């Protein structure tokens, strides 16, 4: 019978638990690349092979190999690094990568531009900082993101701890990572067959596709709970976590022109006690392992399993494996999916400064030396650093007496404490060009300028301090969760975007396509009058995303899978 499984299934199967020929590939000096199959396996180790797309045409003209380099993504459940770790991570940016640290939309760091000969050194330096990159990418449970800042209260700390415990529990057990990157002892026999390795949770085929878990502490939805395969909403009574509402089946990725693929907001599966939380994660994941689509990778995420098999059948199966029934979800209220910027005091009286980091890129540019400022702050040794899922940074645990010093350091490097508008503070863009191999249009390099142009209208309408969530991605994969933005730009072609409107400010409702293939100028022409109309006609406290629905600019996406329904494009 024909093997209908996707090619990735075979690559995993013959990889000897994620080894492939990665080790050999690293030693081949005649190319900056590694073998094709190994590029798939490398992801499970937290790294992607990429090339500099800005210089692709020039290299091709000169008949040169592409300018290959590697991206590394850290596994950082809870998103915290100490000052000592910060200094080590900053050194890696300087010596092995392209001089920048990039906070991702899932609250970890990425490095870009690491050439092959530096890859192992960078991995070892990450290990020296007591961090790793295992399972940061690939068909496994990815990095777990939780509501930012575990230092805010004991509840936040408990949730961050749970993210670390689940992350450890669901880690692949193969020793390939230690063997390849840390020169660990080999556990394969002479025939090249794995001797001791096994994957009790995953098996040799791992998962059908990536798998993502997040946790939030209401009212903050800063981890965008409805965008992920699995979510935990902490239910807090009298200052204590009594359990979690569990969500399943969220996801953003889709393919332009293919309505069988769609972003989907997660459904509530049920309520579990704190001591069931780890087993719940395991049983949801193993159900997806066994039920997920292994033939078509475009429909292999958990959200499609839920669509195809139904939420009730899925719940029943998880309950069977768990040996317990979920309770009825408890009431909860989420109020925003952005970050609370500026100074905040924790219950232990320590101070925390949430700093806006435009699109998460920590670098030094003329007049704005963010990277140097943060290094100087880390050198003081008085703070921890927490990454947020909105690509921002909390400088945490600051004693009252060091607040001024920290502000002074930032100022001396030209770093402002806040963004130029509440819209910018609530903006995110994915990496896209030049490193992302899937980008169809600019994103990180385009959004800041576009927001500057929108700020003229915001200023004129008195809306500079009104938060409107704006997100951009260079393709429909949705890495900056654009379909959960009140204004979303999604790249279609160089310079052209689809414009989506109408997601809920607190992240519970998807947006709707408003205009297709618009240039930046066309988008501005469409958006500016809407912003003016919003300023004039909004009800008290009404959010932009809700207003465009009430004003019949777009229809609401009320049901999780109705993203492509009721679309009436303005430029049809
Ligand atoms: Fe993503 C693929 C960057 C969060 C959905 N994503 C990629 C790759 C690795 C491109 C590739 O496969 O070759 C991008 C690397 C770009 C680069 O040069 O660094 C990439 N994704 C990112 C990051 C760095 C965006 C950012 O600007 O911060 C985020 C890293 C998160 C992390 O730390 O783990 C990132 N990606 C997301 C999110 C948001 C989230 O998870 O909250 C999503 C949407 C949620 C979801 O998973 O549905 C997301 N990325 C995708 C997809 C579409 C998956 C799908 O179901 O169709 C792809 C493509 C794929 O997997 O085939 C993708
Ligand atoms: Fe790349 Fe597309 Fe993700 Fe942006 S959304 S980082 S362009 S895969």
Ligand nearest to the CA of 50: 1
* Low-confidence winner among 85-94, 192-201, 539-548 (lowest mean pLDDT): 192-201
Do residues 396 and 522 share a domain?
no
Q: Is residue 414 part of a domain?
A: yes
Ligand 2: nearest atom to the Cα of 441:
7
The mean pLDDT of 134-138, rounded to a whole number, is: 97
Tell me, in angstroms, the distance from the centre of ligand 2 to residue 195's CA.
38
pLDDT of residue 192: 58
Find out whether 245 and 217 touch, Cβ atoms under 8 Å: no
Q: Strand 213-216 vs strand 145-146: parallel, antiparallel, or unpaired?
A: parallel
Give the tens place of pLDDT for each residue, 245-301: 999 999 999 999 999 999 999 999 999 999 999 999 999 999 999 999 999 999 999
Q: How confident is the model at residue 193 (pLDDT cuts 50, 70, 90)?
A: low
State which of 370, 397, 421 marks the end of a domain.
421
The mean pLDDT of 471-479, rounded to a whole number, is: 98
Distance of CA 278 to the CA centre of its chain: 21
Give the DSSP H/E element, type plus range, for residue 345.
Answer: strand 342-345
Ligand 1: nearest atom to the Cα of 298:
57
Find out whether 210 and 230 touch, Cβ atoms under 8 Å: no
Q: Is residue 36 part of a domain?
A: no
Q: How confident is the model at residue 188 (pLDDT cuts 50, 70, 90)?
A: low
The answer for residues whose C-beta is within 8 angstroms of residue 424's C-beta and 6 or more apart is 356, 358, 448, 451, 455
Do residues 414 and 443 share a domain?
no
Ligand nearest to the CA of 427: 1
Tell me, in angstroms, the distance from the centre of ligand 2 to residue 477's CA.
6
Find out whether 373 and 413 touch, Cβ atoms under 8 Å: yes
Residue having the nearest C-alpha atom to atom 36 of ligand 1: 479
Among 479, 490, 498, name the best residue to mutate to test ligand 2's pocket (greatest count of ligand atoms within 8 A of Cβ). Answer: 479
Tell me, in angstroms, the distance from the centre of ligand 2 to residue 463's CA.
30
Tell me, in angstroms, the distance from the centre of ligand 2 to residue 281's CA.
27
The answer for residues whose C-beta is within 8 angstroms of residue 64's C-beta and 6 or more apart is none
Residue having the nearest C-alpha atom to atom 6 of ligand 1: 479
Q: Is residue 273 part of a domain?
A: no
Do residues 473 and 520 share a domain?
yes
What is Dmax (Cα atoms) for the chain? Answer: 75
Residues 143, 126: Cα–Cα separation, whole Å: 16
Q: How many domains does the chain have?
A: 2
Ligand nearest to the CA of 39: 1
Ligand 2: nearest atom to the Cα of 482:
5
Q: Is residue 416 part of a domain?
A: yes
Q: How confident is the model at residue 564 (pLDDT cuts 50, 70, 90)?
A: very high
Ligand 2: nearest atom to the Cα of 433:
7
The mean pLDDT of 105-116, rounded to a whole number, is: 98
3-state secondary structure of 350: coil
Do residues 404 and 528 share a domain?
no
Ligand 2: nearest atom to the Cα of 432:
7
Find out whether 197 and 175 touch, Cβ atoms under 8 Å: yes
The mean pLDDT of 16-29, rounded to a whole number, is: 97
CATH code of the domain covering residue 475:
3.30.413.10
* Residue position matching structure tokens 């992607």: 48
**CA 1 → CA 4, 7, 76, 292, 344, distances in Å?**
9, 16, 43, 21, 62
Tell me, in angstroms, the distance from the centre of ligand 2 to residue 496's CA.
15
**CA 545 → CA 192, 420, 453, distances in Å?**
56, 21, 20
Residue having the nearest C-alpha atom to atom 3 of ligand 2: 479
Q: Taking the C-alpha atoms of 341, 347, 350 and 356 in order, what is their torsion angle to the nearest 10 degrees?
A: -10
Q: Is residue 52 part of a domain?
A: no
Residue having the nearest C-alpha atom to atom 63 of ligand 1: 477
Tell me, in angstroms, the distance from the centre of ligand 2 to residue 209's CA.
17
The answer for residues whose C-beta is within 8 angstroms of residue 443's C-beta and 6 or more apart is 429, 430, 431, 432, 433, 472, 473, 474, 480, 489, 491
Rg of the chain, C-alpha, whole Å = 23
The answer for residues whose C-beta is within 8 angstroms of residue 395's C-beta and 6 or more apart is 352, 353, 355, 374, 377, 383, 384, 385, 406
Predicted confidence (pLDDT) at residue 194 exceeds the cutoff of 80: no
State which of 391, 421, 451 marks the end of a domain.
421
Catalytic residues: 73, 142, 210, 212, 430, 436, 475, 479
Do residues 530 and 549 share a domain?
yes
Handedness of CA 348, 387, 332, 246 (dihedral sign): negative
Residues 62, 45: Cα–Cα separation, whole Å: 33
The DSSP output letter for 138 is: S
Residues 81, 332: Cα–Cα separation, whole Å: 30
Q: Is residue 131 part of a domain?
A: no
Both tokens of residue 49?
């092979």
Among 473, 483, 485, 497, name the best residue to mutate to test ligand 2's pocket (greatest count of ligand atoms within 8 A of Cβ). Answer: 473
CATH code of the domain covering residue 357:
3.90.480.10
Give the tens place of pLDDT for each residue, 291-347: 999 999 999 999 999 999 999 999 999 999 999 999 999 999 999 999 999 999 999
* Residue position matching structure tokens 């990450």: 126
Find out whether 179 and 380 touch, Cβ atoms under 8 Å: no
Between vectors from CA 479 to CA 475 and to CA 483, what angle results, nearest 5°? 80
Residue having the nearest C-alpha atom to atom 18 of ligand 1: 436
Do residues 349 and 453 share a domain?
no
pLDDT of residue 1: 73
Q: Residues with beta carbon inside 6 Å of ligand 1?
A: 48, 50, 71, 73, 104-106, 108, 110, 142-143, 210, 212, 224, 227, 251-253, 301, 360, 430-431, 435-438, 477-481
Do residues 411 and 427 share a domain?
no
The answer for residues whose C-beta is within 8 angstroms of residue 190's C-beta and 6 or more apart is none
Q: How confident is the model at residue 195 (pLDDT cuts 50, 70, 90)?
A: low
The mean pLDDT of 197-215, rounded to a whole number, is: 97
Ligand nearest to the CA of 143: 1
Question: Phi/psi at 52 (nearest 5 deg)?
Answer: -75, 105
pLDDT of residue 124: 98
Do residues 374 and 493 share a domain?
no
Among 48, 253, 436, name the best residue to mutate to test ligand 2's pocket (greatest count of ligand atoms within 8 A of Cβ). Answer: 436
pLDDT of residue 544: 98
Do residues 371 and 434 share a domain?
no
Question: Phi/psi at 410 (nearest 5 deg)?
Answer: -60, -45
Predicted confidence (pLDDT) at residue 559 exceeds the cutoff of 90: no
Residue having the nearest C-alpha atom to atom 20 of ligand 1: 479
The mean pLDDT of 353-365, rounded to a whole number, is: 97
The residue segments making up the domain with residue 493 are 423-562
Tell me, in angstroms, the distance from the centre of ligand 2 to residue 439's CA.
5
State which of 382, 405, 421 marks the end of a domain.
421
Among 48, 254, 437, 438, name the best residue to mutate to test ligand 2's pocket (greatest count of ligand atoms within 8 A of Cβ). Answer: 438
Tell me, in angstroms, the distance from the centre of ligand 1 to residue 563's CA.
20
Do residues 430 and 548 share a domain?
yes
- Cis (ω within 30 of 0) for the bond into 434? yes
Ligand nearest to the CA of 252: 1
Do residues 409 and 462 share a domain?
no
pLDDT of residue 571: 82
Predicted confidence (pLDDT) at residue 570 exceeds the cutoff of 70: yes
Residue that wins the pLDDT comparison between 524 and 189: 524
Q: Residues with beta carbon inside 6 Å of ligand 2?
A: 430-432, 436, 438-439, 443, 473-475, 477-479
Ligand 2: nearest atom to the Cα of 431:
6
If we measure between CA atoms, which residue out of 151, 170, 56 comes closest to residue 395?
151
Ligand nearest to the CA of 358: 1
Predicted confidence (pLDDT) at residue 190 exceeds the cutoff of 80: no
Tell me, in angstroms, the distance from the centre of ligand 1 to residue 403's CA.
35
- If phi > 0 it is left, if psi is from -120 to 50 it is alpha, else beta; for residue 532 that is alpha
Residues 477, 5: Cα–Cα separation, whole Å: 22
The mean pLDDT of 495-516, rounded to a whole number, is: 98
DSSP string, 385-398: EEE-TTS-EEEEEE
The mean pLDDT of 228-253, rounded to a whole number, is: 98
Do residues 478 and 534 share a domain?
yes
The answer for residues whose C-beta is within 8 angstroms of residue 206's C-beta and 6 or more apart is 12, 44, 138, 139, 140, 172, 199, 289
Tell me, in angstroms, the distance from the centre of ligand 2 to residue 10's CA.
26
Q: Is residue 448 part of a domain?
A: yes
pLDDT of residue 542: 98
If we measure between CA atoms, which residue out of 437, 371, 433 comes closest to residue 102?
371
Predicted confidence (pLDDT) at residue 184 exceeds the cutoff of 90: no
Q: Is residue 382 part of a domain?
A: yes
**CA 240 → CA 147, 159, 215, 244, 245, distances in Å?**
16, 11, 16, 12, 15
Find out whether 488 and 503 touch, Cβ atoms under 8 Å: yes
The DSSP output letter for 186 is: P
Find out whether 512 and 566 touch, Cβ atoms under 8 Å: yes
pLDDT of residue 149: 94
């Amino acid at each position: 019978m024909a093997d209908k499984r996707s090619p990735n299934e075979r690559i995993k199967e013959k990889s000897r638990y994620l080894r492939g020929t990665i080790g050999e590939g690293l030693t081949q000096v005649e190319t900056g690349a590694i073998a094709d199959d190994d590029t798939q396996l490398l992801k499970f180790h937290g790294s992607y092979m990429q090339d500099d797309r800005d210089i692709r045409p020039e290299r091709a003209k000169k008949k040169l190999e592409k300018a290959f380099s590697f991206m590394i993504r850290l596994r950082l459940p809870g998103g915290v690094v100490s000052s000592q770790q910060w200094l080590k991570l900053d050194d890696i940016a300087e010596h092995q990568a392209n001089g920048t640290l990039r906070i991702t939309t899932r609250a970890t760091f990425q490095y870009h531009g690491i050439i092959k000969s530096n890859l192992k050194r960078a991995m070892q330096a990450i290990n020296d900082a007591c961090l790793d990159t295992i399972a940061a990418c690939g068909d496994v449970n990815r990095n777990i993101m939780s509501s930012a800042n575990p230092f805010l209260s004991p509840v936040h700390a408990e949730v961050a701890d749970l993210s670390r415990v689940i992350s450890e529990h669901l880690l692949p057990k193969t020793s390939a990572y230690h063997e390849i990157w840390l020169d660990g002892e080999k556990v394969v026999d002479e025939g090249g067959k794995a001797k001791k390795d096994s994957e009790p949770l995953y098996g040799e085929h791992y998962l059908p596709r990536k798998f993502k878990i997040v946790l939030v502490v209401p009212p903050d939805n800063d981890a965008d709970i409805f965008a992920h395969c699995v979510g935990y909403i902490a239910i807090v009574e009298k200052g204590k976590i009594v359990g979690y509402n569990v969500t399943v089946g969220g996801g953003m990725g889709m393919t332009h022109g293919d309505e069988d693929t769609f972003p989907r907001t997660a459904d509530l599966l049920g309520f579990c006690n704190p001591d069931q939380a780890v087993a719940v994660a395991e049983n949801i994941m193993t159900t997806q392992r066994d039920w997920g689509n292994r033939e078509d990778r475009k429909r292999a995420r958990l959200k499609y399993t839920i669509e195809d098999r139904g939420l009730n059948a899925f719940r029943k199966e998880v309950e069977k494996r768990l040996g317990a029934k979920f309770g009825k979800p408890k009431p909860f209220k989420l109020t925003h999916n952005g970050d609370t910027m500026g100074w905040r005091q924790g219950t232990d009286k320590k101070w925390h400064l949430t700093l806006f980091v435009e699109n998460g890129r920590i670098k030094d540019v003329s007049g704005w030396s963010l990277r140097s400022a943060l290094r100087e702050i880390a050198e003081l040794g008085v703070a921890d650093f927490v990454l947020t899922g909105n690509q921002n940074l909390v400088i945490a645990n600051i004693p009252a007496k060091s607040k001024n010093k920290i502000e002074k350091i930032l100022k001396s490097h030209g770093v402002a404490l806040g963004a130029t508008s509440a819209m910018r503070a609530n903006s995110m863009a994915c990496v896209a060009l030049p490193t992302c191999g899937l980008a169809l249009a600019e994103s990180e390099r385009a959004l800041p300028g576009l927001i500057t142009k929108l700020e003229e209208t915001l200023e004129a309408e008195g809306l500079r301090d009104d938060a409107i969530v704006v997100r951009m991605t260079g393709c429909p994969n949705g890495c900056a969760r654009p379909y959960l933005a009140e204004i979303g730009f999604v790249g279609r072609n160089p310079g052209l975007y689809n414009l989506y409107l109408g997601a809920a400010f607190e992240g519970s409702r998807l947006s709707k396509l408003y205009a297709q293939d618009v240039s930046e100028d066309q988008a501005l022409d469409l958006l500016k009058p809407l912003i003016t109309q919003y300023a004039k006609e909004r009800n008290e406290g009404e959010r932009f995303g809700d207003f465009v629905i009430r004003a019949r600019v777009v229809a609401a996406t009320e049901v999780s899978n109705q993203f492509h329904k009721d679309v009436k494009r303005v430029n049809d």
